[in-house]
Structure 1
Amino acid sequence: MILDYYYSNSEQKFYIFGLQKGKEVFFFERPFSTSNFKNLKEEMLSILDMRKEKRKIRNAEINLVSLGKKLYDKLIPDKLKIYLKNNPVEYLTIIPTEVLHSLPLELIYDDQEKCFWGIKYAMTRAFNLQTLRAAIAAEKENQILSALIISDPTTAIKMPYNQLHGGRNETEISLGLDFALIESKNIYEILQKMGFKIILLQQKDAEKSEVINILNDNLFSIIHFAGHAIFNRDNPTLSFLLLREGEMPVKLYANEIASKISFKGYPIIFLSACETGGIDTKIGDEVIGLARGMIEAGTLGIIIAGWRIFDESSEELTRIFYHNFIFRKKPLAEALRLARLHVHSRAKDAKTKGIIYASTHQLDLLHWGAYRFYGVPFISFQ
């Protein structure tokens, strides 16, 4: 099922067009003021700011639950709630509009059924119907078993905190990511068992110039990045992945991805890094950020994170995702749903039966709720 959101400024109203295979197109409407947009976005930004401070992180978790309930109440008209209850679906694709792109739609919470949409549905997003149709048309060309893994590119490099995360803190921090190595090793083993040809750019091998050349010169069906990435709120086109040149950290900006890289074929991309899913909008509902840069470069689908993720749960979620997607041959959206469900179940169980994720054992949504997929839900390797 596809839900395509359109917003009318003049009417201060949402129109939601629904498309379901074998059924007529239907639509719902919902009054929604521009101040509602502003309030939801400000609430989300406040939560992300809390996420950065250890002493406030529990409040961020609580506020995410509250936001999920608000999204259900404000974005889902009563008639649509009834329709979904009477016409159960497994796969759900949402085409957001304007600020909705930046909101955690996967955390929409149905208070009656006590469930989050990102766990209930094999849920995906699309920028618009045109990009979705193009991806569907290209899907059959993506069966080559070839992968690129970029892992911990900034090992043994230090950088002032404010150059990476902003603010005034000039303390130098180490950019190495031990869990990225574990994550990539697990993915490598799963792909290798299934016969994939793999190029691994790990640590000092992951230089910016080499990454760009390899992406332009080789055909991949899967590209996995495990490293640092930052969303620039002031100028989303300057959001970046952090790579290296020699012993120096180097940024690969969103606008460079679109201009310097042209994928051969139609790869599926997993950006396992903090804030890769940062998206902003400008006049005309033009969505910008790392995700859009990858789409313009030619990806079939992309999994991104909407906020800074945790090492332990990120490694586990990606491992479970690839196990389901590659080894069990589940459709991509379902494989991601199962990975979210796994981490959710583990985190929830830890609250009563012991610590699973040692440093963040009081949390749940912050572990799995960041992951978003833009693309075709039914992609699979058969």
Structure 2
Amino acid sequence: MRNIFTLLIYLSGSSLQAQTSPESFSERVHWYFNLSEYDSVIQYYERTSVNEKDADSLAVALNLIAKCYYYLGQNGVSISTYLKILQNPPRDPAILAKVHCTYSEVLIETAQYELASSQLSHAERILSGIDRSDLVALMLNNRGVLCLRTSRHTEALGHLNSALQMVQANKESESKLLLLILNNMGIVYYDIGKYQDALIVFQNVLTIDSSYHIKKDLAVDYLNIASVYCQLNDKPNGIAFYQKAKQAYVDIKDSAGLSFVLGNLSTIFIEMKKYSLAEESLKEALQIAQRTGDRLGETEWLYSLVMLDYEKGNYSNCFDALEDVARRFLELKNFAQYGQTLIEMAKCKKKLNDYKKSEKLLLLAFENYKSNDLRNELWRAQSNLAEVYELQKRDREADSLFRESIKGIEDSRDDLSTELRTYFMESDRLDAYRSYALFLIRKNKKEQAFDIFEKAKARNLSDILRAGDHMTTSHTSIADSGLLIEYFLQEEQSYAFVKSSKNLKIIPVGKKEIIDRLIIDYLTQIKQKRKDRNSFLKLSNKLYKEVMEPLAEEWKSASHITIIPDGRLFYLPFESLFDGEGFVAEKFEWVYAPSASIALASSVPKSDKNTTDRISVFSPSQIKNSMDHSLRLAELNYAALEVDNIKKIFRDRANICSDNHLTGQAISDSVLASSSIIHFAAHGINNTEKPELSAIVLSEPDDANEGLLTAHEIQKMQLSGKLVVLSACETSVGQLLQGEGMLGLTRAFMIAGASAVVASLWKVYDESTAEFMRTFYEKKVALKLSNSKALQQAKIAMIKNELWNDPAFWAPFVLWGTSN
């Protein structure tokens, strides 16, 4: 998304009026500024002796000059100019209030949030004594932006809504302020995953901007709308609006904006595997960089083009082109990218079976990182060199280098904050662990392979939960009747680590590409309650044969299976697979965990034990769409029945919280301490872009409460040892992060201490969910079953019921954590 205040830059000239030739210093500054000639403003200011005698006029002019510095990216000079104004403040309170407001914009941009808040407080005090609703609206807008930047989205929307109402009530307000507020509201909606609302707001901004015909404004509007469409997975519309933005930037000859659009288009085309279109976009971006003399940009676009060719398998051509790219990066003294280019050259030679040349290039990359103080990058060369040594049958050297590369990554990780560690194992670093694990599998070192693979599985979550030493996972015991299966999906050959009470085995399973394609087709069918049953069972059995049948010999004596998914397997309810005779839900209890370390940290019970004490149920009464325009939620017609059923089962051990004024604070109170089960019967919101904003809808939103319990808030709760049941849509999914697993509501509850979470993999049906939950609790309470056994029995009961036997009704709910 564009910078929060970018629209103000573009709209400065939206309401131009004819002006006569300026006379005074302040008049000339205004004249240049209204023409959006910010460089001219600065040049005039820096070469002119300021002789403005009126302090107010001087303050107005300097305020515009400070804004120009800010718009041109010279934030330090902008701040100095604001301080100069405040040393000799204007007498007019309205001018002074505006200075405080605009000064806050620069402070927000430079992350000086406390100082920005102070400036806005000064402005608010001044404005309380004068009648300037336009400036009050500007102040509220900036407060909204400040809240947005500090992740206080509910407050941000509150301030922006107040600003919007104020501007709409004042017919004399400038349209640019209205557009600024609307734009910021769109960004908030985008930020919290309400993409439909963001789209509506940005389309309104586009409609207003269209009346002014200012193409630089329209270009940014097109970009915003394109970004939203892409988040909604509507790539055709996303591409269409990127193309409109592209044409607008061509018309106004804005090379930077055009390059940005072309880069986004190439990324979309690559995702769609439309490589020729991606190549066209990259070549056009390259021409712009060449035309404008941007050497670094030119080299980076060349690199992207070559790597696109690499995806096509043209390794010989790639190597020759990469040689030129490497030389360019070295001339630019961009040693990090130079080293990466050497590694890509080595990969080309490895693909061409020239291992000696590949080795030389990787040793050169290693020396480049070492001599240029890029020690945190050494592992890149080491891991790739280890792979080459293995191909040369130099196993001892390969093993040593793999160990060194992993140690280098671990040392870098130790220096990071907990938040940054979540994303640390993405892409190349994860590949280093997986490559070493594959090496160990090929050398039949099962325990070592399992432990190395585990070190890159949900590592940050495991650290937060203190789930034990990753290096000893292979030696942790497991219950006699239990089986732990951890999947390792790879393009050429996938594996399953199968751990029982007696041993650890590594068994080949289907290829990643085949499994991924089958899961996509399978999920499309299973979610539909009306499907061709024979066609579905055939597909289900096909997937079963890829991921489960190879392990059939291992589970003969098992009654309880713990699944550690990998990749798309996080979306798959294994118990819904058909083995040719029936659904495997009928044969085993199923539990899921993000990693073996987390699963094995909790012992699997050897016998069923009734841990049911009290249950707290949180369910809002009907949320009316007329009052909740931003969520557009369907009515939960059977939620009340679900709550009534639970109350009948638990009797006086049920605490029911069902109204339209539930808050996170109410859930955090003492009621949690007295309950062993926490049940939510509500709507769920899945935010794949910002998983910390995934939420459960608790109540009607109002000015003081957005009505959501977010994943970010959930993590702070104290839920030690509790079972959490999320009777809501898509609560088991979120953002799938390689190396860390699924980020979202389920993970948040685990961080809060929940021992187990029952959550859903897709949008569930209201009536069938009420029936499923009734059956689950009846089995758990009446028969005193464990979580996993009660869930299994509930699914079997649904399978045997002709009304509910379709997997769309019973398969979405899975158990994460521990069975007890």
* TM-score normalised over the length of structure 2: 0.38
| 1:60 to partner: Cα distance | 8.1
Distance in 2, matches of 1:39 and 1:132, equals 28
Matching residue within 768, 778, 794 for 1:323: 778
Cα separation, partners in 2 of 1:150 and 1:33, compared to 1, 3 Å: same
Matching residue within 712, 717, 724 for 1:255: 712
Distance in 1, matches of 2:686 and 2:532, equals 19
1:277/1:306 contact within 8 Å kept: yes
Matching residue within 261, 266, 279 for 2:721: 266
Distance in 1, matches of 2:532 and 2:691, equals 23
Distance in 1, matches of 2:793 and 2:647, equals 20
2:729/2:761 contact within 8 Å kept: yes
Distance in 2, matches of 1:13 and 1:60, equals 30
Distance in 1, matches of 2:541 and 2:643, equals 35
Deviates more, 1:142-151 or 1:131-140: 131-140
Identify the residue that residue 169 of structure 1 maps to in structure 2: none
Matching residue within 538, 552, 562 for 1:81: 552
Distance in 2, matches of 1:278 and 1:76, equals 22
Matching residue within 113, 120, 123 for 2:587: 120
Cα separation, partners in 2 of 1:142 and 1:199, compared to 1, 3 Å: same
Matches within 5 A, 1:7-46: 7=488, 9=490, 12-20=493-501, 24-44=502-522, 46=524
Matched, 1:132 2:595: no
Distance in 2, matches of 1:220 and 1:67, equals 42
Question: Counterpart of 2:498 in structure 1: which amino acid?
Answer: F
1:15/1:30 contact within 8 Å kept: yes
User: Could you give the per-residue CA deviations for residues 298-354 of structure 1, whole angstroms, max 9, x where no partner exists?
Assistant: 10111111122222222122111111111220222111111111111112xxxxxxx
Question: Counterpart of 2:517 in structure 1: which amino acid?
Answer: N
Cα separation, partners in 2 of 1:125 and 1:161, compared to 1, 3 Å: same
Distance in 2, matches of 1:16 and 1:186, equals 41
User: Could you give the per-residue CA deviations for residues 232-256 of structure 1, whole angstroms, max 9, x where no partner exists?
Assistant: 3444443221112565762322233
* Greater C-alpha radius of gyration: 2
Identify the residue that residue 303 of structure 2 maps to in structure 1: none
Deviates more, 1:8-17 or 1:273-282: 8-17
Question: Counterpart of 1:272 in structure 2: which amino acid?
Answer: S
Matched, 1:58 2:544: no
Question: Counterpart of 2:495 in structure 1: which amino acid?
Answer: F
Identify the residue that residue 616 of structure 2 maps to in structure 1: 148
Cα separation, partners in 2 of 1:65 and 1:235, compared to 1, 3 Å: farther
Matches within 5 A, 1:146-295: 146-151=614-619, 153=620, 155-158=622-625, 163-164=630-631, 175-192=634-651, 196=653, 198-213=654-669, 218-244=673-699, 250-258=707-715, 260-263=716-719, 265-295=720-750
Deviates more, 1:234-243 or 1:334-343: 234-243
Question: Counterpart of 2:636 in structure 1: which amino acid?
Answer: L
User: Could you give the per-residue CA deviations for residues 127-175 of structure 1, whole angstroms, max 9, x where no partner exists?
Assistant: 2222223343999999572321012x152421699954xxxxxxx55x5
- Give SS of 2:508's match: strand
Identify the residue that residue 105 of structure 1 maps to in structure 2: 574
2:616/2:677 contact within 8 Å kept: yes
1:8/1:14 contact within 8 Å kept: yes
2:519/2:572 contact within 8 Å kept: yes
1:303/1:372 contact within 8 Å kept: yes
Identify the residue that residue 225 of structure 2 maps to in structure 1: none
User: Could you give the per-residue CA deviations for residues 48-94 of structure 1, whole angstroms, max 9, x where no partner exists?
Assistant: 7x74xxxxx5238766534421321111253x22343xx24322222
Identify the residue that residue 376 of structure 1 maps to in structure 2: 818
Distance in 2, matches of 1:374 and 1:67, equals 25
Cα separation, partners in 2 of 1:30 and 1:210, compared to 1, 3 Å: same
Identify the residue that residue 343 of structure 1 maps to in structure 2: 798
Structure 2 unaligned runs (5+)? 1-481
1:68/1:109 contact within 8 Å kept: yes
- Give SS of 1:191's match: helix
Cα separation, partners in 2 of 1:12 and 1:76, compared to 1, 3 Å: same
Question: Counterpart of 2:540 in structure 1: which amino acid?
Answer: G
Cα separation, partners in 2 of 1:8 and 1:310, compared to 1, 3 Å: closer
Q: CA RMSD in A?
A: 3.2
1:207/1:245 contact within 8 Å kept: no
1:124/1:375 contact within 8 Å kept: yes
Distance in 2, matches of 1:107 and 1:204, equals 36
Structure 1 unaligned runs (5+)? 52-56, 165-171, 348-355, 358-362
Distance in 1, matches of 2:750 and 2:722, equals 10
User: Could you give the per-residue CA deviations for residues 20-70 of structure 1, whole angstroms, max 9, x where no partner exists?
Assistant: 4xxx2131422543323532443255347x74xxxxx52387665344213
- Give SS of 2:772's match: helix
2:612/2:781 contact within 8 Å kept: no
User: Could you give the per-residue CA deviations for residues 91-145 of structure 1, whole angstroms, max 9, x where no partner exists?
Assistant: 222222232111121212111xx11112221222122222223343999999572
| 1:370 to partner: Cα distance | 0.9
Distance in 2, matches of 1:177 and 1:31, equals 41
Give the % identical residues: 24
Distance in 2, matches of 1:245 and 1:230, equals 14
| 1:290 to partner: Cα distance | 1.3
Distance in 1, matches of 2:533 and 2:812, equals 12
- Give SS of 2:530's match: helix
Matching residue within 531, 550, 559 for 1:90: 559
Matched, 1:364 2:809: no
| 1:267 to partner: Cα distance | 0.7
Distance in 2, matches of 1:270 and 1:39, equals 31
Distance in 2, matches of 1:325 and 1:141, equals 10
Question: Counterpart of 2:816 in structure 1: which amino acid?
Answer: Y
Distance in 1, matches of 2:535 and 2:630, equals 28
Count of equivalent residues:
336
Identify the residue that residue 353 of structure 1 maps to in structure 2: none
2:496/2:507 contact within 8 Å kept: yes
User: Could you give the per-residue CA deviations for residues 197-236 of structure 1, whole angstroms, max 9, x where no partner exists?
Assistant: x332102242333224457x63421001111113234444
The structure showing larger relative contact order (alpha-carbon pairs under 8 Å, at least 6 residues apart) is 1
Cα separation, partners in 2 of 1:214 and 1:273, compared to 1, 3 Å: farther
2:722/2:755 contact within 8 Å kept: yes
Cα separation, partners in 2 of 1:286 and 1:309, compared to 1, 3 Å: closer
- Give SS of 1:157's match: coil
1:304/1:373 contact within 8 Å kept: yes
Distance in 1, matches of 2:585 and 2:742, equals 22
Distance in 2, matches of 1:98 and 1:142, equals 35
2:776/2:794 contact within 8 Å kept: yes
2:491/2:512 contact within 8 Å kept: no
1:61/1:366 contact within 8 Å kept: no
- Give SS of 1:177's match: coil
Identify the residue that residue 5 of structure 1 maps to in structure 2: 486
User: Could you give the per-residue CA deviations for residues 252-308 of structure 1, whole angstroms, max 9, x where no partner exists?
Assistant: 2223322x3232x31101111121122442131433121111111110111111122
Distance in 1, matches of 2:522 and 2:483, equals 24
